[in-house]
């Protein structure tokens, strides 16, 4: 009987992870930086998983993310591979163009001015 120990890491295509490229991160961090400057957001996390990449946005580092920017390459030909997900799990915006999808977060920057 030939017993070989299981391989600790998967080999082949299963080992590949989805990640944001430099252009995508630049767009996301541009919005993130403006929100940090306005005092709305304070921390972020990036997860590169087998089937998706996630940029999580936190109001404080000890909380659950208030928004998640997700990249699902599998959905490229369907709804679009980018989406912004709210804290409650609802998809706020989805599409093939990351810049257009991120506009849902930029609207949060615009606040009505209180008349004095």
Distances (CA, A) of 54 to 43, 47, 111: 14, 5, 27
End-to-end CA distance of the chain: 84
pLDDT band, residue 55 (cuts 50/70/90) = very high
* pLDDT single digits (tens) 8-34: 545 555 557 888 889 999 999 999 898
> Comparing 25 with 111, which gets the higher pLDDT?
25
CA angle 105, 106, 112 (to 5 degrees): 115
pLDDT of residue 115: 53
Alpha helices in the chain (DSSP H): 22-37, 98-106
* pLDDT single digits (tens) 62-104: 678 889 999 998 888 888 889 999 888 899 999 999 999 999 9
Phi-psi region of 108 (alpha: psi -120 to 50; beta: other; left: phi over 0): alpha
pLDDT of residue 63: 74
pLDDT of residue 9: 46
pLDDT band, residue 56 (cuts 50/70/90) = very high
Domain boundaries, the chain: 16-105
Which residues is 57 bridged to in the sheet? Answer: 44, 67
Q: What average pLDDT does this structure show over 45-50?
A: 89
Q: Is the pTM of this model over 0.95?
A: no
């Amino acid at each position: 009987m030939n017993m070989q120990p299981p391989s600790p890491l998967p080999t082949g295509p299963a080992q590949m992870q989805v990640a944001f490229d430099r252009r995508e991160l630049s767009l996301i961090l541009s919005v993130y930086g403006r929100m940090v400057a306005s005092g709305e957001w304070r921390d972020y996390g990036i997860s590169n998983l087998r089937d998706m990449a996630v940029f999580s946005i936190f109001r404080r580092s000890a909380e659950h993310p208030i928004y998640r920017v997700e990249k699902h390459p599998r959905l490229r030909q369907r709804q679009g591979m980018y989406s912004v997900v709210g804290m409650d799990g609802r998809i706020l915006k989805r599409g093939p163009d990351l810049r257009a999808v991120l506009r849902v977060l930029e609207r949060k920057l615009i606040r009505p001015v209180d008349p004095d």
